[in-house]
Structure 1
Amino acid sequence: MDMCVGIKHVTSGTEIRLEACNKGRNSDTWGARQVFTLGWREDIRPGIPQHTMKSCFDAVSQTSPVTLFDCHGMKGNQLWKYRRDKTVYHPTSNSCMDCNEGEYKIFMNKCNPSSPTQQWTFEHINSTILEAFNRNKDL
């Protein structure tokens, strides 16, 4: 089954979960709940680039769930890197976004680029900007 990152509610503290991909089935649901943007602030927000919400992916430790919190623009817990190996890296906890498909959970874990549960695909990528984000940083 195709799994996507999804959110049920855009409320501070909500855990981000895996769910069946809706793309093509109900475009309203897909547009609002399964589209995320890694933007110029290097945070991940629900919504398309022109209409992102004011909630950001947030994580606190190497084993914590990934949750939504009000965006603060201070990087830290809300700073994310999308790397060439398709991992979503969280510098603050020195860990990567991982998942358990059976439990639909998304959480932080020690980075293991060969783990299929740490491979994430963004449908649209601006490689030039991504390279600029990742240049001269501890990756």
Structure 2
Amino acid sequence: MELILRARRTYGVWRWRLRYWWLDTPAGRHAQLWAFALLVVATILQLVRIAVAAVVPPPPGTPRQAVYWWVVQLIILVVSAAISYAMRPKTEKPKPAAGEAPTVEDGQAVKHHFGTVWIEDEFILAWKVTGTVPIKSKGGKK
């Protein structure tokens, strides 16, 4: 009975991890890194298999044209990757937004609204001009 409960709990934990493995948890990050590493290793192994198959002479009686087509496809891949890299949209750095100060009238009374209501007019009690000041840190004690 204990073995069944342990297996059921392990199944539940791994099912949850597989379902929510992308969450920002250390275990999820490790799972992402391991999955990425396994995919990279599998890709490298497949590329090595393809390269070995292209280099090793084929047995007699098989057409030699397969190697040429493989090289042609590889060239097409490299050219299309270069074209897509050159044609990608260029992103511009965002410019800091300039805030427009609203007009504030001196002596205007503050209206009191109770509950959820729709207000037709705007009212600003005060306005403080804030600028962009870079954050500076010295890394030591203050």
Q: What's the TM-score bracket when you normalise by the shorter of the two chains?
A: under 0.3
TM-score, normalised relative to structure 2: 0.19
TM-score, normalised relative to structure 1: 0.19
Structure with more of its chain in helix, by fraction: 2
> Which has the higher Rg, Structure 1 or Structure 2?
2
